[in-house]
Copies of this chain bind each other. A is one copy, B any other.
């Protein structure tokens, strides 16, 4: 076990210019949109000259692809491991809501997630098909969660349309949530669970 280059020791110091570019691109695509973001914006944000990002990515389109795939990957990973199987259905569902909202609204993932939601249409057909396949797999997890809720008698309908209404309520938060607002992300998750399920008999 040599000490040098050990990943656990100093991964912070290793420069990762490709990662820097993806992060900067994500932020800019989120803020200004893909088409309105220039290579020069991105290069500038990471302290490069305008031609240098092309050393890491063949095209601007490839940068978008990297951002979008990171977005769907991150959210699927997070939500998949969120619900504890030992918990009752309602608590499991709320844990999934919390995980999704944290990824969507938290500092770490929001630029990737927002780019995924709003800029994917600028991908070429091949990359779009890739994204659709991953999204389908992700949303199947939610379909299953609704099925569990219905089996537990907590909701009346677990159809595809219901899932899409739920995804809308979730994903629309990107448009209005402000980190400095009065609600925490966890409060939002609890309110959304109540919106979908209804209060647990009280009131």
**Interface set of A (CB-CB < 8 Å, partner B):** 33-36, 118, 121-122, 156-157, 159, 161-162, 164-173, 175-176, 183, 188, 191-192, 194-196, 198-199, 203
What is the bound-complex CA distance between A194 and B158, given in angstroms?
12
What is the bound-complex CA distance between A120 and B114, given in angstroms?
16
A183/B198 in contact, CB under 8 A: no
30 A-B interface contacts by CB (under 8 A): A33-B34, A33-B122, A35-B35, A35-B36, A118-B118, A156-B194, A156-B199, A157-B191, A157-B195, A157-B199, A159-B191, A161-B183, A161-B191, A162-B195, A164-B173, A164-B176, A165-B191, A165-B195, A166-B169, A167-B172, A168-B168, A168-B169, A168-B171, A168-B172, A168-B173, A168-B175, A169-B169, A172-B172, A195-B196, A198-B198
Chain B nearest CB, measured from A98 CB (Å): 15
Copies of this chain, whole number = 2
What is the bound-complex CA distance between A188 and B157, given in angstroms?
13
What is the bound-complex CA distance between A199 and B169, given in angstroms?
19
* 5 extra A-B contacts, CB within 8 A, seeds A118-B118, A156-B194, A157-B195: A33-B35, A156-B198, A156-B199, A161-B188, A161-B191
Which residues of chain B are within 8 angstroms of A165 by Cβ–Cβ distance?
169, 172, 191-192, 195
What is the bound-complex CA distance between A161 and B190, given in angstroms?
11
